[in-house]
């Protein structure tokens, strides 16, 4: 299995922890607010029922009609040759009530959509996506006629009748497939092979430090092996799929750590650990992310468990040493704080000699002796 290297590990070492293949990186999820984002950019009219406001500029070309998008959680469209695969994340609200009825960032489960062949209720979204570039994020306003229509939808997602829709959408990326098939028409071997090619492409981006592009490819590779697909596999086919899927999650974690998105990195490692609770790379990367978040006890637990299965690994030993140094520094700092609060026990001050008192005491003693001597003579 071809892997990309963690930046802190000697690539020539025999026992290094290695990241898995990667290729496109999605942008950081938008902040989860109570409603759609407030946008003041220029309004672009795409259709009499669809407008767009860009919140983050993209790059490159726009997808062509009949391109295939990864959107939410079901396949829409038909098999075509020269399909372009696109990945999209979005949140959707009904404009009148500000009710959020869909959020693919939260679900983390992209799906195919062929532009121009999408389901009727996603026509407005398709028009918006077709105007976007890779990496672009925008707010779309879609009239009810190109959304869920006059009747709305009373199942999932729950959308009232004649509801205008607001989408916060990001076009993660797209590329031409070499398979000439939609995912649903591929055999198991073809789907695993297509995912593996994206994983390999991702490694190239990762090694060139193009993390956004790398994570995009990882997500598209993972999309080939969604939960429904994996549920149907067993035996050697499941092992083959996991040999591609798990490295993609681990490489996503490696990218997210570099991007300082530690909570997300922990989540990616967790997905792998559900399948393989002793996976050294997942334990190592989760430990690094936890350490960066200040969760030192949990990080140490991950590193110690990883060392159990890779006792000679220098990277694990180094991370444990860094944690020990961190703990020592914290202890010294706390010691100084407490010393400053309570302070050292004061030393008793030497008493200064008072000469007046000494002279007075001497005079009293002298008078007493003279008086006593006079008494003795009288007797």
CATH at residue 169: 3.10.50.40
Residue 131 inside a domain? The answer is yes
CATH, residue 197: 1.25.40.10
CB within 8 Å of 4: residues ≥ 6 apart: 18, 19, 20, 21, 22, 203, 206, 207, 251, 254
Is the pLDDT confidence value at 92 over 60?
yes
- pLDDT confidence of residue 31: 60
- The more confident residue out of 184 and 268 is 268
The tens digit of pLDDT for each residue in 113-128 reads 666 667 788 889 888 9
The tens digit of pLDDT for each residue in 211-232 reads 988 888 898 888 888 777 888 8
- pLDDT confidence of residue 245: 94
Is the pLDDT confidence value at 11 over 60?
no
The tens digit of pLDDT for each residue in 354-368 reads 777 778 777 888 777
- The CA angle 336-338-342, to the nearest 5 degrees, is 120
Question: Mean of the pLDDT values across residues 273-302?
Answer: 95
User: Does 113 lie in the same domain as 13?
Assistant: no
Is the pLDDT confidence value at 9 over 50?
no
Percent of the chain exceeding pLDDT 70 equals: 73
Percent of the chain exceeding pLDDT 90 equals: 40
The tens digit of pLDDT for each residue in 135-185 reads 789 999 999 999 999 999 988 888 999 999 999 998 876 655 555 566 777
Domain limits for position 202: 3-24+186-326
Range with the poorest average pLDDT among 68-82, 303-317, 325-339: 68-82
Is the pLDDT confidence value at 82 over 60?
no
Residue 345 inside a domain? The answer is no
User: Does 172 lie in the same domain as 190?
Assistant: no
User: Does 137 lie in the same domain as 194?
Assistant: no
Grade residue 74 by pLDDT with cuts at 50, 70 and 90. Answer: very low
Work out the number of other CB atoms within 10 angstroms of the CB of residue 120.
Answer: 9
User: Does 248 lie in the same domain as 161?
Assistant: no
Report in angstroms the alpha-carbon separations of 290 from 6, 203, 213, 301: 16, 24, 25, 10
Annotate 234-253 with DSSP letters as a single string. Answer: -THHHHHHHHHHHHHHHHHH
What is the reported pTM? 0.60
Question: Mean of the pLDDT values across residues 47-60?
Answer: 90
Write down the mean pLDDT value for the chain.
79
The count of structural domains within the chain is 2
Question: Mean of the pLDDT values across residues 28-41?
Answer: 74
Range with the poorest average pLDDT among 55-59, 206-210, 257-261: 55-59
Residue 342 inside a domain? The answer is no
Report in angstroms the alpha-carbon separations of 346 from 335, 336, 338, 339, 340: 19, 17, 16, 13, 13
Residues comprising the chain, all counted: 379
Boundary of a domain, candidates 176, 209, 229: 176
Report in angstroms the alpha-carbon separations of 23 from 199, 254, 323, 359, 361: 6, 12, 31, 96, 97
User: Does 62 lie in the same domain as 7?
Assistant: no
The tens digit of pLDDT for each residue in 313-344 reads 999 999 999 999 988 887 777 777 776 666 66
The SS3 call for residue 269 is: helix
Is the pLDDT confidence value at 37 over 80?
yes
User: Does 194 lie in the same domain as 168?
Assistant: no
């Amino acid at each position: 299995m071809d892997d990309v290297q963690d930046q802190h590990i000697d690539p020539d070492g025999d026992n290094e922890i290695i990241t898995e293949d990667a290729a496109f990186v999605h942008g950081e999820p938008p902040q989860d607010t109570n409603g759609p984002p407030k946008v003041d950019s220029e309004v672009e009219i795409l259709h009499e029922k669809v407008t767009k406001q860009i919140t983050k500029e993209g790059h490159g070309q726009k997808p062509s009609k009949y391109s295939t998008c990864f959107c939410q959680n079901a396949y829409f469209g038909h098999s075509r040759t020269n399909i372009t695969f696109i990945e999209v994340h979005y949140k959707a609200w009904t404009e009148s009530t500000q009710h959020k009825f869909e959020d693919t960032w939260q679900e983390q489960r992209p799906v195919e959509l062929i532009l121009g062949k999408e389901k009727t209720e996603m026509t407005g979204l398709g028009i918006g996506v077709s105007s976007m570039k890779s990496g672009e994020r925008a707010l779309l306003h879609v009239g009810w006629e190109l959304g869920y229509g006059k009747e709305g939808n009373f199942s999932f997602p729950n959308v009232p009748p004649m509801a205008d829709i607001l989408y916060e959408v990001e076009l993660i990326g797209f590329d031409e497939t070499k398979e000439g098939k939609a995912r649903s028409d591929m055999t198991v071997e073809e789907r695993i092979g297509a995912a593996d090619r994206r994983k390999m492409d991702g490694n190239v981006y990762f090694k060139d430090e193009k993390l956004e592009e790398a994570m995009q490819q990882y997500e598209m590779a993972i999309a080939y092996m969604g939960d429904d697909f994996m549920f149907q596999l067993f035996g050697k086919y499941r092992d083959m799929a996991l040999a591609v899927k798990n490295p993609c999650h681990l490489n996503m974690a490696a990218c997210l750590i570099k991007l300082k998105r530690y909570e997300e990195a922990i989540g990616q490692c967790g997905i792998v650990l559900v399948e393989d609770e002793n996976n050294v790379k997942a334990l190592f990367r989760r430990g690094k992310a936890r350490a960066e978040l200040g969760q030192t006890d949990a990080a140490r637990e991950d590193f110690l468990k990883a060392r159990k299965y890779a006792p000679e690994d220098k990277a694990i030993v180094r991370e444990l040493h860094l944690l020990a140094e961190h703990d020592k520094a914290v202890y010294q700092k706390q010691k100084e704080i407490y010393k400053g609060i309570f302070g050292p026990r004061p030393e008793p001050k030497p008493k200064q000699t008072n000469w007046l008192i000494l002279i007075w005491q001497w005079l009293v003693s002298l008078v007493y002796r003279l008086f006593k001597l006079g008494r003795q003579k009288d007797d």
